[in-house]
């Protein structure tokens, strides 16, 4: 708990600072406090390897970021453009976006759901904040957006592990965030918050019921009501209308078209990829149709559990009610 609280402090320290050097300090604090959370005494060898992979990747990216900041402080104009690219590359490495996604995919598959939630949601915030401060339109970032979207769709189609599906889903949505970041920072923040809440809800359900693969939807003795929540939440993540995930992409399309037509081609490309990504979310549909066990009734639930799921549905409904108001 102490390390988690310190982890949250590193976020506050970063977001309250406008100085890139202080933000770099917060990145290092963030890495140090996250490393102990990766450890598990029951799986010491596996978690030691996971921790070392994370430490090496984060250290390399932090070094690149630090030396880029030093060059910026020295005002070396001939290196200004190079510094911009190196800062951007270091943050892409920390985010686990292609071509630096292998470590992120590997870590997600070797951690429990709680750690996956922290890595795929909380640990993205500071690098995204730095990118927001430094990113601008250029062909390189366009290539990264297209490549990230393509990789998430192609690799995600063959996955049956839920952690892999959530990893590629994260990469796909990050490509949308990068595009929005260059045009509308405020809307990108709203997109990130809504996506994070939706991902948290799904991963919490997977953690609560110890689910790791699509087949477990059929084998696990889970109430139909809960399975329905999981199914609808995944479809929302896929962007099926009229769910929240669809509204996020719909408003993204609307505002990008209003802002600048030069992004139309890449926007169409992302929409096509999102359509194809819907295929691997539909892999959940087959076990879902086979999982009905009519012996399970909603009323078998204890009152406390029933209220917990009702609150989840309530908050999901609130997303719909206030989303357009937030825009």
Residue-level pLDDT at 95 = 92
Give the total residue count for the chain. 327
Rg of the chain, C-alpha, whole Å: 20
Residue-level pLDDT at 274 = 81
Judge whether 221 and 211 are in contact, CB under 8 Å: no
Residue-level pLDDT at 94 = 92
Give the Cα separation of 145 and 7 in Å (integer).
29
Judge whether 138 and 228 are in contact, CB under 8 Å: no
CA 126 to chain centre: 13
**Half-sphere exposure (CA, 13 Å, Cβ side) for 238?**
23
Which segments in the chain show pLDDT lower than 50?
A: 42-44, 293-300, 303-304, 307, 314, 317, 321, 323-325, 327
Give the Cα separation of 281 and 167 in Å (integer).
13
Give the Cα separation of 303 and 276 in Å (integer).
40
């Amino acid at each position: 708990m102490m390390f988690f609280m310190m982890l949250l402090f590193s976020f506050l320290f970063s977001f309250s600072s406008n100085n890139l050097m202080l933000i770099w300090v917060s990145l290092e604090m963030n890495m140090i406090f996250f490393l102990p959370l990766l450890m598990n005494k029951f799986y010491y060898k596996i978690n030691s390897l996971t921790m070392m992979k994370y430490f090496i990747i984060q250290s390399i990216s932090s070094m690149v970021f630090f030396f880029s900041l030093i060059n910026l402080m020295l005002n070396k104009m001939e290196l200004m453009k190079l510094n911009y690219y190196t800062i951007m590359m270091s943050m892409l490495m920390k985010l686990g976006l292609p071509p630096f996604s292998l470590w992120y995919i590997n870590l997600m598959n070797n951690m429990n759901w709680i750690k996956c939630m922290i890595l795929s949601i909380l640990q993205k915030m500071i690098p995204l904040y730095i990118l927001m401060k430094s990113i601008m339109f250029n062909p390189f970032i366009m290539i990264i957006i297209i490549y990230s979207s393509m990789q998430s769709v192609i690799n995600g189609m063959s996955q049956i592990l839920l952690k892999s599906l959530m990893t590629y889903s994260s990469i796909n949505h990050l490509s949308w965030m990068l595009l929005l970041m260059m045009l509308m920072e405020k809307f990108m923040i709203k997109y990130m918050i809504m996506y994070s809440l939706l991902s948290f809800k799904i991963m919490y359900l997977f953690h609560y019921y110890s689910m790791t693969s699509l087949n477990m939807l059929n084998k696990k003795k889970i109430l139909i009501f809960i399975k329905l929540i999981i199914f609808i939440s995944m479809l929302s993540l896929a962007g099926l209308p009229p769910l929240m995930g669809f509204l996020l992409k719909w408003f993204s399309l609307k505002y990008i078209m209003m802002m600048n037509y030069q992004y139309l081609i890449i926007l169409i490309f992302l929409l096509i990829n999102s359509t194809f990504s819907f295929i691997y979310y539909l892999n959940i549909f087959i076990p879902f149709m086979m999982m009905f066990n009519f012996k399970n009734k909603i009323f078998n639930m204890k009152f406390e559990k029933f209220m917990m799921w009702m609150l989840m549905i309530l908050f999901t409904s609130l997303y719909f009610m206030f989303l357009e108001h937030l825009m």
